[in-house]
Amino acid sequence: MPQASATMNVMIAAARKAARALARDFGEIENLQVSRKGPSDFVTSADIKAEKTIFEDLSKARPGYGFVMEERGVVEGTDKTNRWIVDPLDGTTNFLHAIPHFAISIGLEREGVLVAGVVYNVVRDELFWAEKGAGAYLNDRRLRVAGRSDMRDALFATGTPFNGKPGHAKALGEIERVIAKTAGIRRFGSAALDLAYVAAGRFDGFWERGLNAWDIAAGAVIVREAGGVVTEIDGDDFMKTGAVLASNQALAPQLQQTVRGS
Ligand code: IPD
Ligand code: CA
Ligand code: CA
């Protein structure tokens, strides 16, 4: 394993511990052993359990740090400079449908700057992690974004609104424009893994609107440390608007222009 800081080791340990319970719960879904209350209640409890483990472990290791978590929301810390940004289960719909593509995402923000991230694909045991200024890794292998610069060769990931979230027409228009000039599009259902895959050079880029800070924080550090660009689709702050776009240096402006239709 390359040299990880003490804080990174704390993040990795928390992710791995929460992952063990998630993997067990996922096994039950795969075997259709879910409780009579129905799979979505079961998933919600798996999600809350994972979040509790992460919350307790991080709180113990770094007392005073604040939190932004999907289930608990904001937990103010006594230390106002450090804040964990956590999604205990990204890819809930996949989990619920026994599709083995979901992750735990833990980001760390220091004085308003994203400084560390872990995205852990539980089923594949793929740990994507990065610290600002120290590179990005998949397990112990250094990551680098893809080198393609021609849109025609590039494969992009995106996410589309669901469950009554607005913006379908806009999303479909964006997809149509991107499909027309690229090698294709994937919608895999985990924004954190979409970002990690951009860092790993599997996807040439990713964009999605309507995300939350916990979907993006860890993945953004990992993409940047892999040499990629992470930006807001329309030029704002993606941690506030949730409209994120990630790619390599050559393709990011082309993808942004295509998505915006400008
Ligand atoms: C979702 C996933 C999905 C994205 C959604 C997110 P969740 O997170 O990242 O890919 O399209 O916008 O909400 O609900 O599975 O944690
Ligand atoms: Ca999420
Ligand atoms: Ca989630």
In CATH, 151-260 is 3.40.50.10470: no
Residues lying with their CB under 5 A of ligand 2, a single-atom ion: 87, 90, 215
How confident is the model over 10-41, as pLDDT tens digits? 999 999 999 999 999 999 888 876 666 677 88
Chain segment 87-129, per-residue pLDDT in tens: 999 999 999 999 999 999 999 999 999 999 999 999 999 999 9
* Beta pairing partners, 157: 186, 206
Query: Distance between CA atoms of 40 and 21, rounded to whole angstroms?
Result: 17
Question: 189 C-alpha vs ligand 1 centroid, how far in Å?
Answer: 6
The predicted pLDDT at position 35 comes to 62
The residues spanned by each domain of the chain are 6-142, 151-260
Give the containing element (helix H, strand E) for 205.
strand 205-208
Ligand nearest the Cα atom of residue 92? 1
Residue with CA closest to ligand 1 atom 2: 190
119 near 104, Cβ under 8 Å?
Answer: yes
Pocket test for ligand 1, best of 122, 211, 238 (most atoms within 8 A of CB): 211
Tell me which of 71, 89, 92, 104 to substitute to probe ligand 1's pocket, judged by most ligand atoms within 8 Å of the beta carbon. Answer: 92
pTM beyond 0.85, yes or no:
yes
Please tell me the number of the ligand nearest to residue 88's CA.
3
CATH number of 6-142: 3.30.540.10
**200 CA distance to ligand 1 centroid (A)?**
20
Counting from 1 in the atom list of ligand 1, the atom nearest the Cα of 92 is 15
pLDDT value at 166 more than 90: no
The reply to whether 6-142 and 151-260 are identical in fold is no
Give the pLDDT confidence of 213-241 residue by residue, as tens digits: 999 999 999 999 999 999 999 999 999 99
Structure tokens at 14: 């928390």
- The CB-based long-range contact list for 176-182 (8 Å cut-off, 24+ gap) reads 177/258, 177/259, 177/261, 178/255, 178/258, 178/259, 181/151, 181/152, 181/258, 182/151, 182/152, 182/154, 182/155, 182/156
